[in-house]
Amino acid sequence: MPADLTGSSWRTEDFDIPAYLQRIGIEPGPASLELLEAVHQAHVRTLPFTNVDILLGTYPGAAPAAVQRQLIERRRGGYCFAHGQLMAAALEHLGFEVTRHLGRVGSPDRARTHTSLEVRLDDGAWFADPGFGFSIRGPMPLRDGAVRDEGGRLFELSLVGGGGGVHGLGAAPRRRVPARLRQTARAPGRHAHRGPDHLRRPRPWPVHRDADGQPLDG
């Protein structure tokens, strides 16, 4: 029986990383911020976020071998657990130090139904989130006040929790838009990231905000 997907056992050998890199059009190179940016951008632009198969009851699951077949061989899409696992394995193959973290969508009281990545470089930790759909397309420094401009949407990480190192990720359009159009100009709701207990590291808690800086309801 395969090992559980916990701790250091992620069955990354079930992924064909050269096929993944070829699929997204990335050449291997030394681990760097430039390569991390290129992989993250290429991943989200090539591999779609989809959950239709889940609603239809036909999704093959999030085990690495199933993710390999679904996203690489069948060229279909997946949701956060598929995307996060695949990109994490590829980044480790390329020489990056990666920590996988579970997260919450909405309030901190909800179940951990999301996953995101912490990637460590010489200049510190970077937040990567390839599997949330309408979210960041590249990494962000994992620190209070970090901002990323996504061509009309500004994402900002800010410390919102107490002693847990919890961060809020706010997304807002750069210019004011009519209320009836604001739904299409913002990220869909709020999602929270906090590391599972066995990882012993708290993770970001993104909270999406509107153009006026007010929290958006999920």
Catalytic hit among 43, 80, 191, 193: 80
Range 145-172 average pLDDT: 71
Residue 21 has pLDDT above 80, yes or no: yes
Smallest CA-to-CA distance from 185 within 150, 158, 160 is with: 150
Cα four-point dihedral sign 63, 97, 116, 19: negative
Higher pLDDT, 158 or 42: 42
Q: What is the mean pLDDT of residues 29-50?
A: 96
Active-site residue, 129 included: yes
Average pLDDT, stretch 34-42?
A: 98
Q: Please check the confidence at residue 189 and state whether its pLDDT lies above 50.
A: no
Runs of H (alpha helix) within the chain: 17-24, 33-46, 52-56, 64-67, 80-93, 179-182
- Average pLDDT score over residue span 185-191: 35
Angle at 30 between CA 28 and CA 36, to 5 degrees: 75
Residue 197 above 50 pLDDT? Answer: no
- In a 13 Å sphere around the CA of 142, the CA atoms on its Cβ side amount to 23
Angle at 119 between CA 123 and CA 133, to 5 degrees: 125
Q: Report the pLDDT averaged over residues 178-204.
A: 35
Asked whether residue 192 carries a pLDDT value surpassing 80, the answer given is: no
pLDDT at 202 > cutoff 80: no
Residue 42 pLDDT: 97
40 is annotated as an active-site residue? no
* Statement: residue 132 has pLDDT above 50: yes
Which residue did the predictor score with more confidence, 195 or 10? Answer: 10
Q: Residue 11: pLDDT above 70?
A: yes
What is the model's pLDDT at position 196? 33
Q: How does DSSP classify residue 9?
A: B
Q: What confidence tens digit (pLDDT) does each residue in 43-101 have?
A: 999 999 988 888 888 888 889 999 999 999 999 999 999 999 999 999 999 999 999 98
pLDDT at 144: 86
Q: Which entry of 43, 83, 129, 210 is annotated as an active-site residue? A: 129
* DSSP assignments along the chain, one per residue: -PPPSBTTB--GGGS-HHHHHHHHT-------HHHHHHHHHHHHHHS-B--HHHHHT----SSHHHHIIIIIIS---B-HHHHHHHHHHHHHHTT-EEEEEEEESSSTTS-EEEEEEEEEETTEEEEE-TTSSSS-SS-EESSTT-EEE-SSEEEEEEE-SSTT--EEEEEEESS---HHHHGGGS-SS--EE---GGGT--------B-TTSPBPP-
83, 114, 167, 193: the active-site residue: 114
